[in-house]
Amino acid sequence: MKTTHIVDSISEYLEGTLTKEEHTKVAQHISQCKACEQDVVDYQKLFNAFKEEPLKTPSDALEKNFLQLLEEEKQNTVKVVSLNKRAIPKNYWGNGLLKIAASIALLVTAFTAGGYFKSQETQTQLAQVEQERLQLKKTTMMSLLENQSASKRIQAVSYIEDFKSPDDAVVAALADRMLHDENTNVRLTAVDALSKFSASTLVKTAFVEALGTEKDPSVQIAIIQNLVKLQEKKAVGPMKKLLEQEDTQPFVKEEINNVLSEII
């Protein structure tokens, strides 16, 4: 069997696409021909390199500038796997191996160059997209807070989890639900949501105000516990008033008596 014939068959041999008879003939030839045996070793290195190359997803910026990158990359040196210097047959481009090699080379080049687009401009664009998303979330939240369905209002309150630092408009909207919503569960959910932003003066003020108007014992307890955590001294007056009111539930008075000394 001629050496050129063996070289032409190496990719199929490694890919396992030869017939059983052809595979046997190629294997026999390789065992007797050192040159072809070296070719097999070289091509196997190339196959292994393809397998080890991690698959990455190109960014939108990379896709938009792909042709420009390829043109620039022509000026650069691309690292390739070292092969034996024996000539590759002209018709080898018809085989799968070098087509794969060409594709992988382009992809590796593109993905490597893609790092260039992780620039400040890209980061700015991502920040803008995130800002637009939060603005849409805020608009949805504000709308749902006015929904007639209590479950929808509770859903709206839960959207606060998406905001690391909600603006005053969002905080004020939640405070309004805590103070005036007709549904106890909505008010209680609003207390829990606002507790995550207790460093805000607006939140502290809303808690103190709510303690003076809230009638539901479970909500009263939640507000009291938050005010104690905040060590908010302005809460002392409303707490004492609750102690004096006859309609205040005994367990609420007990809670106040247990914690009042912590903030006086």
The residue segments making up the domain with residue 108 are 3-117
Residue 219 lies in a domain: no
| pLDDT score recorded for residue 1 | 41
What's the predicted TM-score (pTM) here?
0.53
The overall average pLDDT reported for the chain is 78
SS3 state of residue 73: helix
Residue 102 lies in a domain: yes
- Token look-up 């691309």 returns 78
Residue 24 lies in a domain: yes
Residue 175, pLDDT > 80, answer yes
In terms of phi and psi (left: phi > 0; alpha: psi -120 to 50; beta: otherwise), the region of 16 is: left
DSSP 93: G
Residue 71 lies in a domain: yes
Nearest residue to 157 (alpha-carbon basis) of 181, 133, 135? 181
Sequence-distant (6+) residues with CB within 8 A of 21 are none
Residue 151 lies in a domain: no
Average pLDDT over residues 174-180: 95
Instruction: Identify the weakest region by mean pLDDT among 6-15, 71-80, 138-147.
Output: 71-80
| pLDDT score recorded for residue 133 | 82
Residue 256 lies in a domain: no
Residue 179 lies in a domain: no
Number of domains in the chain: 1
More confident residue, 95 or 158: 158
The amino acid occupying position 119 is S
Residue 178 lies in a domain: no
